[in-house]
Amino acid sequence: MAEIDREKESKEILEAYEGLLSAAKHAKTDGATQERMRTAFYVAVEAHKNDRRKSGEPYIFHPIAVARICAEEIGLGATSIICALLHDTVEDTEITLEDIQEQFGEQEALIIDGLTKISGVVDNNVSIQAENFRKILLTLSEDVRVILIKIADRLHNMRTIGSMRRDKQLKIASETLFLYAPMAHRLGLHSIKLELEDLSLKCQHPEVFEEIQVKLKKTQEVRARFIRKFTSPIKDELERKGLKFEVKGRSKSIYSIWNKMTTKNIPFEEVYDLFAIRIIIDSLSEGEEKSDCWQVYSVVTDFYQPNIERLRDWISAPKTNGYESLHTTVMSPTGKWVEVQIRTRRMDDIAEKGFAAHWKYKEGGVESQFDKWINQVRELLENSDESTLDLIGDFKLNLFTDEIYVFTPNGDMKSLPTGASALDFAFTVHTQVGVNCLGAKVNNKLVPLSHQLNSGDQVEILTSKNQTPKEDWLNFVQTHRAKSKIKHSLNEEKRKVAKEGKVILEREFKKLKISYENISLKELQSFYKVPSDIELYYEIAINKIDLTKLKEFEVRKGVLRPKRKITKRVQNLFGQKKSLVPVTQKMGRPVLVIGDNMEKLDYQLANCCNPIPGNEVYGFITVTEGIKVHKTSCPNTVQLMSNYAYRIIKASWIDEQDAAFLTGLKIIGIDDVGIVNGITQIISNEHNVNMRSLSFDSLDGVFEGRVMVLVQDTSHLTNLIKNLKGVSGVKKIEQIDK
């Protein structure tokens, strides 16, 4: 191991700090502020002096980089920079929150407390990731800088993720896509949101990322020429009108290209909107911004035909994250649709830097869309009865959705997520209006509660004091406000019924001569498959639970336990003693090695993605079905790794047995006589390839076939696909899960 050059490292650390100061010129308002920042730097250096990152570099480079992102890319001030420098000290060093408060202040201590992870969770059924995110949300409602610093922290971790273990990379990337990219979007951090998505894709699917990146580079010069030619007449006319402006060509992000390719099932070449033109105007005053933008729109549409259905006016009605812009899609002379974004310098600043820029331009006393959203977060957190995962699910629900704008009978405008129902609107007006909602009139026509609203609708809510929320309401509401209020109301009703259920359970244990103090509610919840003690009591009260099964329990060491443990081996994987239960290797199935100790354990293959040997996989510990093995590319991976990282275990193939795995192929081509026979002959002639099912459809000379085959591994499958592509008429083959 090479000797560490401490003097060189110290010089590099000071250079990094100087770079931070240069990026934070806007934050150095006076000498006292500069001194506080310098003190925070030296405290962090001393606290982390013995710590190193996975890459081997001194740990202090990380908090300096996070602080620089806060200053340079988000535009935050001195308090945020100080907290970013110190954000890991309480969690990882001897420094306490009391020390922070004493030396830097109460606000800094509050923010750093919000950034400090919960050290441990006693219950293995609780996601520590979810609990940490809940803690951030609780602090977010008091000081939004907590989540902004957390996003900066996550961005730097994603930029340097290459030095981590592969399984850790996948968990962090999944969590980033699931929570942090949507949160950056909601806070208006557009460029950071795009980078987080791209870095996550690069981590999860490096080959796909590289392929799209190479294709973008190859077409870069062609796009640049197209942009110059397309914008030339627009520039000339805007200059003639005396407007000051800047024109940019913005490429679509790699993640969004991949997302469109997968959701629409099209190749790269068919993603037509690979880039957008952005026109940024230097308006003389905020009062002239709207007319300036529409003037530019008029110029653009004078030269190019617009697609009226693709016009988006976020100037008259800004998004809830403060985003303002005018978007139109026009037809170019080459027959390609081009998106043109029109905005002012102020709007562009807010679009790129979000929250921090929003406050920079905010006028005193005016409640913005962003303020309203923060108030919604506070309101959501008031309902503390929800499980953490439900809370995050409801919170995340509206982060990525587009918005519609509807009106009250008095003409007041309300913004709702796309797909919102009349009932969502009722809860937006007032909680009590939602609770007592019977129906609605949309544009003077009577509609049911589940009626989906469209932009421009005028909605009148009909109520009755006798109406109360129903369970099925949760099936057609979209907003977290409506969901949380309905759940709260239903839980109140359940509590009343559950009291009776508790009495029934106590009476039943009395018959079995078991003291109620010995009852383990967690064991009973797991046995009866209910999520909480209230649900347990409630289902007992309504006779949904068979209490005669209590005979299957016994008291061991003073605690009620099931007579037989179902998941003994699975529980041992949570870092406890090694399993003493012998594992029987199933015949005809390859062996996976699972867990940090790479043990040969029993498992099942997940039906959602049907992994086969050669696929990159991981194990997921289920509650009742043991270990299920998924592909890392499984559509459920992001959610599983984000919410249940403590149940994810390493898995890899170590031996290829003579076994068959079910997988599907979709075959597309030009219909021709004998093509089906040609395909089936190839499959039947392949060694050890058996067909489970085969179906073909033909329409207007194009056929699409679906075939389920049994193969040994990925190389076996690749060889089969290669031979099928040789059949005359076959144009495209892709693997499908079902």
Residue from 9, 57, 92, 523 carrying the catalytic annotation: 92
245-251 and 599-600 as β-strands: parallel, antiparallel, unpaired?
Answer: unpaired
**Gap between the Cα atoms of 358 and 255, Å rounded:** 27
Helices (H) and strands (E) in the chain, counts: 29, 23
Nearest 5°: CA angle at 277, between 257 and 315? 100
Phi then psi dihedrals of residue 380, to 5 deg:
-60, -40
In eight-state DSSP terms, residue 529 is T
Q: Which amino acid is at 338?
A: V
**Beta carbons of 403 and 319 less than 8 angstroms apart:** yes
Give the Å distances, CA to CA, from 88 to 91, 97, 130, 133, 150.
5, 11, 19, 16, 11
Structure tokens at 367: 């409640």
The secondary structure element, H or E, covering residue 703 is: strand 702-711
List Cα–Cα distances, 273 to 191, 268, 326, 331, 332, in angstroms.
18, 11, 17, 11, 12
Paired with 305 in beta bridges are 331
Radius of gyration of the chain (CA): 30
Contacts 24+ apart (CB under 8 A), 195-201: 195/155, 195/158, 196/151, 196/154, 196/155, 196/158, 197/253, 197/255, 197/256, 198/253, 198/254, 198/255, 199/158, 199/159, 199/161, 199/173, 200/158, 200/173, 200/174, 200/176, 200/255, 201/254, 201/255, 201/258
Active-site annotation holds for 35:
no
Three-state secondary structure along 129-167? HHHHHHHHHHHHCCCCHHHHHHHHHHHHHHHCHHHCCHH
Nearest to 405 by CA among 434, 428, 436: 428
Longest dimension (CA), the chain: 94
| DSSP label at residue 73 | I
Within 285-410, strands assigned E span 305-306, 312-313, 326-331, 337-344, 403-407
> Is 671 among the catalytic positions?
no
DSSP 8-state assignment for residue 36? H
Tokens encoding 341: 């974004």
Cβ–Cβ < 8 Å for 433, 463:
yes
The one-letter amino acid at 6? R
Find the catalytic residue in 15, 91, 106, 270: 91
Which residues are within 8 A (CB) of 697 and not within 5 positions of it... i.e. 6 or more apart? 703, 704, 705
User: How far is residue 102's CA from residue 105's CA, in Å, rounded to a whole number?
Assistant: 6
CB neighbour list of residue 119: distance below 8 Å, 6 or more residues apart: 91
77: phi > 0 → left, psi -120 to 50 → alpha, else beta; which?
beta
| Positions marked catalytic | 91-92
